[in-house]
Structure formats: C-alpha cells, structure tokens
Amino acid sequence: MAQVRVRFAPSPTGPLHIGGVRTALYNYLFAKKNNGTFILRIEDTDQARFVEGAEEYIMESLQWAGIKVDEGINEGGKDGPYRQSDRKAIYRQYADLLIEKGDAYYAFDSSEQLEALRTESEKAGNTFIYNAANRDKLSNSISLKESEWKEKLSKGEPYVIRYKMPDNEDIHFDDIIRGHIVVNTSTLDDKVLFKSDGMPTYHLANIVDDHLMEISHVIRGEEWLPSLPLHILLYRSFGWNPPLFAHLPLLLKPDGKGKLSKRDGDKMGFPVFPLFWPFGETAKGYREEGYYPEAFVNILALLGWNPGTEQEIFSMEELIEAFSIERVGKSGSRFDPEKAKWFNHQYLQQRTNEQLALDFREFLRAHGYHFDIVELEVLIGLVKERVSFVKDIWEQTDFFFKAPESYDKEVIKKRWKDDSASLLLELRSVLEKIDDFSSAAIEPVVKAWIEEKGYNMGTIMNAFRLVIVGASRGPHMYDIISWIGKEETLRRIDKGLSVIGK
C-alpha cells in the first residue's frame, strides 16, 4: 500500500457527536496500523454555521480519548494550514480551472428566485433540480449570452460557481465497506462549489484539500455517501486520482430505530458527546459522567467494527493491532447505554485500590470529608466489585462516613422483632469488651455469643445492619463496623435504639 495518510475533517458547528469521535478513532487506528499519518483538518468554510468554542472542543475531545494528531493546527505539518478558513486563497484558482475546462459555470440566480421555483415545482408534484433538466431556463453562464453574463460579472452582480453535472451518465465507484456502487447523474444537482461570499463550499474545499494533503483513504460517516458521486466527478474533472473511500455505518438509537441523537441521550440519561458542552444549550459529556477515556474508546471501537473473536476489552495498542476496515459492518450499530456502563465497570476493576482511593479522596474532599488513603483503600476493597464509576463509590459507602439519618421503614416493619432491641443491647455489651476491633477478630466472638445463647442469627444481624447502615444494604457487617470503629459502632446502636425504640 502506498503511504497511508488519512484525515478527520469535522466542521466546528457545535459539540462533536460520539459518532464523530468514532470516525476519528477509526481513522486513527487505520493510520497507526499502517504506519501512516493521521491529520486533523478543520472544515469551517460555512461561516453561517460556525460556532465559537467548537474547534477547541474537537481538539480537547481527541486529546482526552488518546487519539493523537500527527498533523494539524497545533501540531503543524508539511501541508498546512489545517484550518480551511486559513486556506481561503487556495480554492478560487481550482474553481476557475473547472470553469476553463467547461465543467463549472457562473450562476446568478438569487436564493429567493430558486426558492420560488422549488415551491412551484412542489405544487405541481415535482422536485426542482438545478441540473441539465433546468439549467437552460435559469440565469447562468450557460443559459445567457456571453456578453450578458460577462456584463453581470463586470457589474459585480453576486454569483456562485456551480458544477456542471453531466447529463444522464452512470457513475461507477467503489467503497471499501459497501462495494461497487452505480449512480445516474440525472438524480444529482449542479452543486455550488464556490459561494458569493468568496468561500468555497464543503465539496470543493474537501476535494482540493484531500488532493493537496495527499490523502490515501477517506474514512467518514455514511451521511456523506450521497456526495460521493460528485466527489468522484470532481476528481475526474481535475484529472486527479481519487483516494479510496470507506463510509462508516450510522450509530443508531438504543431501540435501533434511527440515528442516535442528543434527545435520546437526554431522555435516557446518557451522554452523546465526549465532553461537557458548556455553551448555549449545554450537554453532558462522557468525561464528566466519570467514564475512563480507555473505556470510552473501547465502547466506540466496537460500535461498527468487530474483531472476529469473542474479545471485548481492548487497549488502544490492541485496537491498533487488530483493526481493519474490512471488519467494519455495513449496517448501523445500536448504541446500548447499559453496555457502555459495563465497559467502564471493567476498566474500574482493573484499577488498583490505591488509584481508586486517590480519585475517591478528591470526591470526598469536595463533600467535606478528609480521610487518609490507607483507610480508603480498605473501604474500596469492600465495594469495588459493585461499582462502575468512582462517583458510585459514595452511594455504596455513604454510611461509612455518617451515621444514618433515618431508618428504612419497610425494613423496620419486616425485620424489627419484639426482642430486637434487647438483643442489640446485649450485642452492644459483647462488642464493648472486644479490644481487637478487626473484622476477623470480632466475627468469631459475636458468633460464639449467638451460638452459646441459642439466639436467632438473622434477627440480630438484621437489626444490627439497620442501626449501623439505616437500611438492609452494604458489605459484610464486621467489615463495616471494623472500619467505622468501636466507638462509632456503639454510638450508632444507641442512636438506633433511641429512634426505632424498644
């Protein structure tokens, strides 16, 4: 294979959807697998859709996910600049070249005129297409006399440059994922290549830049497939060799019906963006929700690509090793928010208790609790298997840090027996006498006492958990009381007895 050069070419029109991050990831994996170059090109020629902060958001998202850019705005590179608005001066000559060749033309129709024609056709049950079928009836350098359109140009009338779509021709091309495709040009329109504001459109800038940047493979979302016949024709008109193309399947809603949108995420409580988006209508991000970047990448990697084995957990290095475009499917991939959490759970389990304790200590500090790492490590060891996120640790351990403020009424009704209070009082005095308050030391003493007296273990432990935790949840009782210590344990028994009563 010739030198692999791929690009991720987002438009800075808002926060980057996770589908966009997946496109970047697949480009990156493909480049790294083939010792190639991964380029980040910002396509900001549509000034009306430009959103402040979006470019920085894109870069920060890639950085967070560990997708390293080889050539880009910050990285530099031989084919810069990498922001299309900084390349403005490049494009006009290419539009002119197409006009000279007779493959493009000037068009003077105003958007109001075109809009009127569209509505008129719709009323008659037709679709208006600006192409060979209508071109002659419109105001352009094909329909008008040369003297007329030249005069318009010299008077400075606003115009756009349109591609002259061939009439009724079958265009053949290949897509690595979708195979051979044939499209007849009669369904295509004379797309605008150059706008009256002096900027190229996406189509022209994209093709010119892919050529100048020597892009070998264009890997992008399926939504760009309809543009491919035009792109192929543009390469033909310029006399350039096109790159190879691979159009990635859509990311689908959890129910599999349609494209995954922000609304689905809002409804079901999961993010569809990598990072929190702070501008205007804000949006949740995977980073802020507590996902590890490694988990996030792993989730995206398997939404569309499959390794052909049962393996699900992949590091970035393993993904690079295993990735191939041939194993990307044609059909859309359903996003499963529960599976996403499962991935984070797996990555959290791989962390050491010490790493988690350090992260959790930050969380506790924000809540006004100060504990040393060693104590927290023990605590984390008790609940780690039950949590998928660092923030979940608090939900599983809040009662370690504070005595219950209330006691679960259902549990009282079901589990608080007539003799619960007197048994707890007796347990209190057993515990009071124990000097070594480690879990391993307390357990046999309490068990021996219950056995000797012939008490019901369930009644005692249910009541005990209720006064210590406030509910019937949490890890092993002896681990809990050992961690909170003897004094606190006795205090909680007293408090529980006084609130729940006899």
Residues with catalytic annotation?
262
In the 8-state DSSP scheme, what is residue 250? Answer: P
Beta strands, E only, 222-322: 244-248, 251-252
Q: Minimal distance in Å, beta carbon 27 to ligand GLU?
A: 9
Min dist. Cβ of residue 224 to ligand GLU (A): 5
- In the complex, minimum distance from the CB of residue 465 to ligand GLU, in angstroms, rounded to a whole number: 55
Among 27, 37, 139, 206, binds ligand GLU (CB under 6 A): 206
Segment contacting ligand GLU by CB under 6 A, of 9-17, 232-240, 271-279, 319-327: 9-17
Looking at the Cβ atoms of 226 and 308, the one nearer to ligand GLU is: 226
Q: Is the CB of 202 or the CB of 296 nearer to ligand GLU?
A: 202
Which residue intervals of 34-175 are DSSP H helices? Answer: 54-65, 88-101, 111-123, 146-154
Stretch that binds ligand GLU, among 7-15, 96-104, 254-262, 400-408 (CB under 6 A): 7-15
Maximum alpha-carbon separation in the chain: 113
Q: Which residues of 401-425 are buried (b: 16+ CB within 10 A; e: fewer)?
A: eeebeebbeebbeebbeeebbebbe
Cβ distance to ligand GLU smaller for residue 9 or 299: 9
316 token code pair: 């970035």
Which CB sits closer to ligand GLU, 9 or 192? 9
Asked if 9 is part of the footprint of ligand GLU (rule: CB under 6 A), the reply reads yes
d(CA 79, CA 212): 7
Positions 37 through 66 that interact with ligand GLU (CB under 6 A)? 43
Of the candidates 50, 224, 276, 342, which one interacts with ligand GLU according to CB under 6 A?
Answer: 224
CA 14 to chain centre: 13
Q: What whole-number distance in Å separates Cα of residue 483 and Cα of residue 474?
A: 13
Written as six digits, the tokens of 355 are 């790493």
Q: What is the DSSP letter of 49?
A: G
Residue 34 binds ligand GLU (CB under 6 A): no
Cβ nearer to ligand GLU, comparing 32 with 220: 220
Q: Quick check: 10 binds ligand GLU (CB under 6 A)?
A: yes
Nearer Cβ to ligand GLU (54/275): 54
Q: How far is the CB of 197 from ligand GLU (least distance, A)?
A: 18
Closest CB 231 distance from ligand GLU, rounded Å: 8
Total binding residues toward ligand GLU, as defined by CB under 6 A: 8
| Closest to ligand GLU by CB, 86 or 115 | 86
| E strands present in 191-327 | 192-194, 217-221, 244-248, 251-252
Q: Helix, strand or coil for residue 259? A: strand
Say whether residue 220 binds ligand GLU (CB under 6 A).
Answer: yes
200 binds ligand GLU (CB under 6 A): no
Residue 473 CB neighbours (<10 A):
13
- According to DSSP H, which parts of 102-201 are helical? 111-123, 146-154
User: Measured between alpha carbons, how far is 450 from 444 in angstroms, rounded to an integer?
Assistant: 10
* Extended beta strands in 189-336, E state: 192-194, 217-221, 244-248, 251-252, 333-334
For residues 303, 306, 311, 312, the Cα torsion angle rounded to the nearest 10 degrees is 0
Distance CA 423, CA 219 (A): 70
Nearer to ligand GLU, 10 or 274 (CB): 10
Binding mask 225-264 for ligand GLU (x = CB under 6 A): ----------------------------------------
Is residue 11 involved in binding ligand GLU (CB under 6 A)? yes
Residue 2 CB, shortest distance to ligand GLU, in Å, is 20
Least distance to ligand GLU, CB of residue 121, Å: 29
Q: Segment contacting ligand GLU (CB under 6 A): 5-13, 73-81, 435-443, 471-479?
A: 5-13
Asked whether position 209 contacts ligand GLU by CB under 6 A, the answer is no
Our finding on whether 164 is near ligand GLU (CB under 6 A) is no
Beta-bridged to residue 194, according to DSSP, are: 161, 200
Point out which residues bind ligand GLU (CB under 6 A): 9-11, 43, 202, 206, 220, 224
